[in-house]
Amino acid sequence: MNDKKLQIIQAAIKLFGDRDYHTTSVQDIVSLAGVSKGAFYLHFHSKEELLIAVFSYYMDGQSIYLKEIQSNSSLTPREKIINAIQFQCQVIMGDQDFLSMHMKGIAFMNNTVKEMMIDHSMQTVRWMEQQILELYGPEIAVHSFDCANLLNGMLKEYFFYFIVYAHPINSQQLAEYLMNRMDDIAYGIMNKPTSPILYATLICPEQSQAITKETWLQKAHSVKDWIEANTDSTKSTETMVQSMDAIIQEALKEQPNQIIIKGMYNYLISLANGNPGIIEKLTLLFEGQK
Amino acid sequence: MNDKKLQIIQAAIKLFGDRDYHTTSVQDIVSLAGVSKGAFYLHFHSKEELLIAVFSYYMDGQSIYLKEIQSNSSLTPREKIINAIQFQCQVIMGDQDFLSMHMKGIAFMNNTVKEMMIDHSMQTVRWMEQQILELYGPEIAVHSFDCANLLNGMLKEYFFYFIVYAHPINSQQLAEYLMNRMDDIAYGIMNKPTSPILYATLICPEQSQAITKETWLQKAHSVKDWIEANTDSTKSTETMVQSMDAIIQEALKEQPNQIIIKGMYNYLISLANGNPGIIEKLTLLFEGQK
Amino acid sequence: MNDKKLQIIQAAIKLFGDRDYHTTSVQDIVSLAGVSKGAFYLHFHSKEELLIAVFSYYMDGQSIYLKEIQSNSSLTPREKIINAIQFQCQVIMGDQDFLSMHMKGIAFMNNTVKEMMIDHSMQTVRWMEQQILELYGPEIAVHSFDCANLLNGMLKEYFFYFIVYAHPINSQQLAEYLMNRMDDIAYGIMNKPTSPILYATLICPEQSQAITKETWLQKAHSVKDWIEANTDSTKSTETMVQSMDAIIQEALKEQPNQIIIKGMYNYLISLANGNPGIIEKLTLLFEGQK
Amino acid sequence: MNDKKLQIIQAAIKLFGDRDYHTTSVQDIVSLAGVSKGAFYLHFHSKEELLIAVFSYYMDGQSIYLKEIQSNSSLTPREKIINAIQFQCQVIMGDQDFLSMHMKGIAFMNNTVKEMMIDHSMQTVRWMEQQILELYGPEIAVHSFDCANLLNGMLKEYFFYFIVYAHPINSQQLAEYLMNRMDDIAYGIMNKPTSPILYATLICPEQSQAITKETWLQKAHSVKDWIEANTDSTKSTETMVQSMDAIIQEALKEQPNQIIIKGMYNYLISLANGNPGIIEKLTLLFEGQK
DNA sequence: TATGAATGAGCATTCATTCAT
DNA sequence: CATGAATGAATGCTCATTCAT
């Protein structure tokens, strides 16, 4: 990621946290970031896009961390959950700016951001669910989604006291405490005939409800930016970026020509030249397409 | 409440729910409410005041309901909690507009509203704590505040699914379910040596050390009136009254300058010239100030 | 001065002359100046600031001219006065817009502008007084201020006929005429025992007891800096500095609350804890205050 | 004059003096006057009409006083002038509200008011001129208008110090002082060959330049009000008021039918039934008509 | 690339005037 | 006659976005 872009994002995080999105002007952001207004619009097409970038910045960090924990085979499921809780506590305590933004919940008028946050929440809760399943075994099965949400809800409540009353969080103690409460709940549920409340499959069937064109475009942009930032600036990088632009242009049309998009996708894959990061991103972006 | 005022509040609730405070213009509100812009400012001094009115409108309703339940001696504590949960579910289901607003959490830039919401949250959780104490008896004591918050957090998570995914809530089922989880947690806590995380007394010592600015202002006014009424009408009385006015003016600001308030307090004490009545009043008024 | 800024000022002069400040909208001004509304606020923070700029624009011109005349040793005092009268006539005839604005006297609601005009009037009259003193010698002494004002008043009356009835001014003839009237008056006064009416020293003792807010603020700042630099950096230093800031903030307001300033002064004295340096500085700063 | 109307005018004088016309709202005025907004519009057709009424109220008072002095044969011309100066000082000192309004000079955007003020100034200065003529005899003749204006200008300058610096006016001393200055000037002028600057006849030929329809209508309204207020409420009063209304209606038309106006005027004179006040007013109103 | 002056649509708020009661 | 709730055009000001340099 470009240096200036990062500066801008960090300034935005600080300001969106202190005040909020609407009460922070682009001028405020560029002043704090020490860049010009022109430069801002060189990196972001709009203030809204910055907001999206800010969220991506954080969520990506969290998602990566959760994936790392999960693939760490030296941890037990219980340890993984505790670890994840502690991680979230650290984030909140270490980055109040963003946190206070995050606590503002789904407030951001912007639909893309709303969807991103909902997606991210769901991802996190599904992650929790996986660990819970592994921890308590198949007996918890139908309740695993409820449990993940109960745990999530309990955790957030403590965050509230940290933000609002500055009540300190001892993340290790809190993680253990909540894990114990999870145990109480899990064994309580398993020992009594209980009907679950939520079913993950009902809420997010097949893990991905129909994406809107808008969110797809946002993702396409972020893939493009990722390619730009994460490849050596060679000829093929440039070509890939241009190809992504062409795809975005096409997708923006009322009736995009699917054959162009498919063709360009194919071309991009060939340009990727086996680079697994790029291929993964592209695959994720295009697989849901119809 | 005036007819038009209500129309305006209801339009605002709808629009603040759909978009949010900042993206809703006064014109939008009055157009939907079917009143003129002039009429708006006849009922509210500012857009901000409307926001406050909207929140009061809901919070007052909830507070009243909780008080009614509590004083209903024909209900057991368990029934009271279940009742309260069901009530909150009903509100949310019946008034998605407001709810989606509420879910925006403590997002509202406005400090008054933020304080109102925090106050209200605290009130609700303290109410829950009372019922929990009665329900599980003195053994739960040090844990009662944690329990109330855990219950609260779990409940909110289900609201999230209702709002975001329109997942239906069967309020009776959910209330029973959460009550059972509360049991699981409560008995789990009581059966294992457990350190509590939050102490109500730390957060809001003596039930509400966190005096609201509003009540403080009322007290300040009454002190001013007292001074006016109980001193000989000398030059210094007049100066004291003016000083109180200046303090009140300063305190009314969004971000009062503490140094002015301290300085003026000091000045008042010097003007009091040893008069014990005045000094006592002033000390009581200012001792909680930081 | 920036090109656009000048365009705006000139448009404003025209419009403020035609109608007046209140009935001229910012839109009117920018339309005439041929700039956008945004550009206006790029150059002026508010409409009020423009008004101030407009007055400064003219007054500065006059002040500079008067200084030039005065230091021109090739002119006799009589010639200087005649020159100044002619200059004022030229200004008025050349710039009816501004003149008609100026004739509106101290009407402009704005306190800053009012003070500026009064200051400027006083400066002009004091300038006249100097020349009169030189012209008629020490015998006129106690009457010089009255004379300057009489001359001033007579002159203005002719401006009135120019503005209202477009009665042409022959500036040379008028200057000579008024100079003769001044002679009549001066010799009349000196030849008869006469008590003066106005004493400059009563109205602006020591040439400017009527300290402007601006200079007072400068002094306040320097006292603050002195405190900061000359005390041990203790808690009370910090509090004193904050108190000075609060006072300055208050003084900056259109209508400072005197009670706050008095109160804070009292507080500062108590914080000074007998330190003679601080007390002296504070006393000097505040003793002129009413 | 109606009671409420007076209350409103007095409230307006106070407020227009404190702030100014534009920054005083109708609401402010009716609140201070203790009448309803509806009542305001019952007495005045617009805020502007009130402004006119306020000025008339004062100017009429002054005009009447000047007439009284003039016809008081026990006073010498010198005494008359001194008397008039003293009177003006009294007015200013006694009624700062209005004065501060008056000092705002010809600021009032409103053309009718501007014309009224100019008319009034001219009347006053012509009055002065008369006395000066009588005082200094035919020798002053061509200079009398200049002299009247010089005196006027000098006087106003002292008012300035009263208003701005609250410099007290000793009206007797000031009147004598200015009279002496007038003597200095008059004898100075008469003893030296001097060309006058202003000629009254050039400026206001035949005492009345073309009246605008607007000012005529204002006068018509005030005549109507005067009739309403100053006659017994008999049948004929009502008829006269209705007749005035009819005339005003006619005059408001693009092309008023002169025959109607003449006829109604004739009718009014007959209704006046010899009442000299009414006849004078009507004559004054209609004599300039073409 | 980078800048920041320029744009103008949009906003909250005010207030003279009207009119149903 | 009297009221004051209602109206809506008009105003000062902000700020996301553009673009000449």
Per-residue pLDDT of B162-219, as tens digits, reads 888 888 889 999 999 999 999 999 999 999 999 999 987 666 644 444 456 666 776 7
Rounded CA separation A161/B202 (Å): 11
Same domain, A123 and A163: yes
Q: Do A104 and B103 touch (CB under 8 A)?
A: no
Rounded CA separation A166/A184 (Å): 28
pLDDT in tens, C30-42: 999 999 999 999 9
Q: Do B158 and A198 touch (CB under 8 A)?
A: yes
Residue C75, token pair as written in the block: 């002119």
pLDDT in tens, A36-82: 999 999 999 999 899 888 888 888 888 899 999 999 999 999 999 99
Which among A212, D28, D160, A101 has a CA at the least distance from the CA of C122?
D160
* Backbone torsion region of residue D273, taken as left when φ is above 0, otherwise alpha when ψ lies between -120 and 50, otherwise beta: left
Contacts of D147 (CB under 8 A, 6+ apart): D128, D129, D132, D136, D140, D182, D185, D186, D189
Average per-residue pLDDT in chain D?
Answer: 82
Chain B residues with CB under 8 Å of A163 CB are 106
Q: Do D165 and C195 touch (CB under 8 A)?
A: no
Top pLDDT among A15 and C187 is at C187
Nearest Cβ partner for B105 among A23, A104, A183: A104
Domain count, chain A: 3
Note the CA–C1' distance, A11 to F15, in angstroms: 18
For range A217-226, the mean pLDDT: 71
Nearest Cβ partner for B22 among A22, A118, A158: A22
> Rounded to an integer, what is the distance from CA B211 to the centroid of its chain?
11
A23 touches chain B (CB under 8 A): yes
pLDDT in tens, B164-180: 888 888 999 999 999 99
Contact B97, B13 (CB under 8 A): yes
C249 touches chain B (CB under 8 A): yes
For range B69-75, the mean pLDDT: 93
Note the CA–C1' distance, C5 to E4, in angstroms: 16
DSSP summary character for residue D1: -
Binned at pLDDT 50, 70 and 90, residue D206 comes out as: very low
Same domain, A59 and A201: yes
The nt closest to B5 (CA vs C1′) is: F5
Contacts 24+ apart (CB under 8 A), A33-42: A33/A4, A33/A7, A33/A8, A34/A7, A35/A4, A35/A7, A35/A8, A39/A4, A40/A8
For range C122-134, the mean pLDDT: 93
Top pLDDT among B231 and B246 is at B246
Chain C residues with CB under 8 Å of B268 CB are 263
The rounded percent of chain D whose pLDDT value lies above 90 is 40
Q: What is the four-CA torsion angle of A150, A151, A155, A160, rounded to 10 degrees? A: -10
**Dihedral sign from CA coordinates of C18, C19, C25, C26:** positive
CATH of the domain at B77: 1.10.357
Q: What is the ipTM of this complex?
A: 0.69
What DSSP assignment string belongs to chain B? --HHHHHHHHHHHHHHHHS-TTTS-HHHHHHHHT--HHHHHHH-SSHHHHHHHHHHHHHHHHHHHHHHHHT-TTS-HHHHHHHHHHHHHHHHHH-HHHHHHHTTGGG-S-HHHHHHHHHHHHHHHHHHHHHHHHHH-GGGGGGHHHHHHHHHHHHHHHHHHHHHH-----HHHHHHHHHHHHHHHHHHHHHS----S--HHHHSGGGT-S--HHHHHHHHHHHHHHHHHHS-S-HHHHHHHHHHHHHHHHHHSSS--HHHHHHHHHHHHHHHTT-HHHHHHHHHHHTT--
Residue A162, token pair as written in the block: 């940290």
In the listed set C143, C178, C205, which residue is the last one of a domain according to the structure?
C205
pLDDT at A30: 95
For range C194-199, the mean pLDDT: 90
pLDDT at C207: 43
Strand F contact with B265 (CB < 7 A): no
Contact D133, D140 (CB under 8 A): yes
Nearest Cβ partner for B246 among C242, C245, C260: C260
Binned at pLDDT 50, 70 and 90, residue C263 comes out as: confident
The CA-based angle A18-A19-A24, given to 5 degrees, is: 120
Chain C residues with CB under 8 Å of B257 CB are 246, 249
Which among B286, B265, B258 has a CA at the least distance from the CA of C266?
B265
Length of chain D counted residue by residue: 290
Contact A155, A149 (CB under 8 A): no
Rounded CA separation C275/D92 (Å): 49
User: Exposed/middle/buried for B119, CB within 10 Å: 0-12, 13-18, 19+?
Assistant: middle
The nt closest to A30 (CA vs C1′) is: E4
pLDDT at D242: 77
pLDDT at B199: 80
Rounded CA separation D261/D250 (Å): 7
The CA-based angle C209-C214-C215, given to 5 degrees, is: 50
Contact C203, D161 (CB under 8 A): yes
> Rounded to an integer, what is the distance from CA C123 to the centroid of its chain?
7
Contacts of D119 (CB under 8 A, 6+ apart): none
Q: Where are the extended beta strands (E) located within chain D?
A: none
Same domain, B30 and B73: no
Same domain, C68 and C183: yes
**Dihedral sign from CA coordinates of C137, C141, C146, C152:** positive
User: Does C230 have pLDDT greater than 60?
Assistant: yes
What pTM did the predictor assign?
0.69
Residue A205, token pair as written in the block: 């069937």
Same domain, C69 and C34: no
Same domain, A110 and A63: yes
Same domain, B70 and B175: yes
C279 touches chain B (CB under 8 A): no
Neighbours of chain C (3+ CB pairs under 8 A): B, D
Nearest Cβ partner for B198 among A152, A167, A194: A167
Query: B and A: touch, per 3+ CB pairs < 8 A?
Result: yes
Footprint of strand E on the protein (CB under 7 A): A 4, 35-39, 41-42; B 24-27, 37-38, 40-41, 45-48; C 4, 35-39, 41-43; D 23-27, 37-38, 40-41, 46-48
Residue C140, token pair as written in the block: 């006129």
Residue A30 to residues A11, A18, A34, A51, Cα–Cα distance (Å)? 8, 16, 6, 14
Note the CA–C1' distance, D218 to F15, in angstroms: 47
Nearest CA in chain C to B248: C260
Contact A243, A261 (CB under 8 A): no
Q: What string of H, E and C letters represents the secondary structure of D194-217?
A: CCCCCCHHHHCHHHCCCCCHHHHH
Top pLDDT among B241 and A78 is at A78
Radius of gyration of chain A from Cα atoms?
Answer: 21
For range D12-41, the mean pLDDT: 90
Query: Residue C269 is part of which domain span?
Result: 212-286
Binned at pLDDT 50, 70 and 90, residue A206 comes out as: very low
Rounded CA separation D61/D92 (Å): 13
Same domain, D201 and D217: no
Q: Do C197 and D173 touch (CB under 8 A)?
A: yes
Same domain, D63 and D168: yes
User: Does C56 have pLDDT greater than 60?
Assistant: yes
Chain B residues with CB under 8 Å of A103 CB are 105-107
In the listed set D205, D235, D262, which residue is the last one of a domain according to the structure?
D205
Least confident of A19-23, B77-81, D201-205: D201-205
Neighbours of chain A (3+ CB pairs under 8 A): B
Contact C84, C69 (CB under 8 A): yes
Burial C228-260 (b: 16+ CB within 10 A, else e): eeebeeeebbebbbbbbbbbbebbeeeebbebb
Q: Is A118 helix (H, G, I), strand (E, B) or coil?
A: helix
Note the CA–C1' distance, B88 to F6, in angstroms: 38
Rounded CA separation B93/B59 (Å): 16
Contact B114, B56 (CB under 8 A): no
Note the CA–C1' distance, B114 to E15, in angstroms: 32
User: Does B132 have pLDDT greater than 90?
Assistant: yes
Which among A23, A88, A27 has a CA at the least distance from the CA of A58?
A88
Q: What string of H, E and C letters represents the secondary structure of D222-243?
A: HHHHHHHHHCCCCHHHHHHHHH
The nt closest to A37 (CA vs C1′) is: E4
| Largest distance between two CA atoms of chain C | 70
Same domain, D180 and D80: yes
Q: Is D50 helix (H, G, I), strand (E, B) or coil?
A: helix
Residue at shortest CA–C1' distance from F18: A38
| d(CA C123, nearest CA chain D) in Å | 14
Rounded CA separation D1/D227 (Å): 10
User: Does A85 have pLDDT greater than 70?
Assistant: yes
In the listed set A173, A205, A237, which residue is the last one of a domain according to the structure?
A205
Same domain, B126 and B166: yes
pLDDT at B134: 94
- The protein footprint on chain F, as nucleotides within 7 A of a CB, is 1-20
Q: Do B173 and A195 touch (CB under 8 A)?
A: yes
Q: Do A107 and B20 touch (CB under 8 A)?
A: yes
B273 touches chain C (CB under 8 A): no
Contact B246, C259 (CB under 8 A): yes
Same domain, B61 and B195: yes
CATH of the domain at C13: 1.10.10.60
pLDDT in tens, D244-287: 877 777 777 766 766 677 677 777 777 777 676 677 677 667 76
